[in-house]
Each structure stands twice: as C-alpha cells, then as structure tokens.
C-alpha cells in the first residue's frame, strides 16, 4: 500500500490555542483526522508525526527512506535554519512538499527564508489547515504519477 508521511514541527502541538489570530483555532488532532480520512478515501496510508525536537524529526525522515512515497512537512521554526532537516530530506530522495499555515512572505522578514524549500518539490503556504489538504492532494498526484511510470 502507498504511504505518505506527514511531519509537524515544533509548537504545532499547540495549534488551536497558540496565536489563533495567526494559526487559527483548528487543532493538530483535527488536521490529522481530516488528512487520514482523505488519504484513506484515496486508498493511501497516512502517518502523522509531531515533535518539538529537531533530532527526532531527522530520525523520522531518515527512517522513512524506502518506506514512504511522499513526505509532507511543516518544519515550523526549523524552516529558517535547520540544515539538518534539509540534509535529511535531501538524503532520502522522497518527494517532499513543504507546508505552512500562515503566509511566510507576509510575516516578519526572518520568516521569509526557507532552507527546506530548495529540496522540496513545492511549497504551500498561507491557507491555514487547507495548506495541509492541498499538500495531500499534491502528494497523491505525485505518488500516482510515479506509480504509473
């Protein structure tokens, strides 16, 4: 069965209560439930993983090589400086879609730089929880294209 890994970075476990004017009121559990339902409907297994620890995320990415067909990642604050995440994603060579709830480019200048995007297939930013759902649609499309080759 095809499998997609969704990785949520630091502080995303606080969604729904943290800076609701920026990130909204939808919780991470609600996002994961919707993602899993949509993936199941498409006949794809989806695993969701969240950590506030860079090394745990690096380990999860490394362990996914050869086991998943796509990664959706919201690296959160790690977006702007984690060369370790960037290198782990590059090493796995798994098609990766970078996701952000808020529009990075409409926020503080330091948030407008991503070290992850150069190793991602694409980036979806600024649509709140819908960013994840759009990323899942894109990942499903990528997986099905690859499967038909």
Which positions are annotated as active-site residues?
23, 100
Q: How many CB atoms lie within 10 A of CB 65?
A: 12
| Cβ–Cβ < 8 Å for 61, 54 | no
Residue found by looking up tokens 């439930």 in the block = 33
**From its phi and psi, is residue 80 left (phi > 0), alpha (psi between -120 and 50) or beta?**
alpha
DSSP-derived secondary structure for 29-76:
HHHHHHHHHHHHHTT-EEEEEE-S-HHHHHHHHHHHTTT-SEEEEE-G
| Cβ–Cβ < 8 Å for 100, 123 | yes
């Amino acid at each position: 069965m095809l499998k997609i890994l969704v990785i949520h970075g630091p502080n995303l476990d606080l969604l729904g209560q943290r800076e609701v004017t920026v990130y909204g009121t939808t919780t991470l559990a609600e996002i994961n439930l919707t993602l899993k339902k949509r993936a199941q409907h498409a006949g794809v297994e989806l695993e969701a993983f969240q950590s506030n620890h860079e090394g745990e995320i690096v380990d999860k990415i490394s362990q996914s090589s050869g086991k998943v067909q796509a990664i959706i990642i919201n690296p959160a604050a790690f977006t702007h400086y984690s060369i370790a995440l960037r290198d782990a994603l590059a090493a796995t060579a798994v098609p990766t879609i970078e996701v952000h709830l808020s529009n990075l480019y409409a926020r503080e200048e330091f948030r407008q730089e991503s070290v992850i995007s150069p190793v991602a297939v694409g980036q979806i930013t600024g649509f709140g929880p819908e960013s994840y759902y759009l990323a899942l649609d894109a990942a499903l499309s990528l997986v099905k294209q690859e499967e038909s080759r």
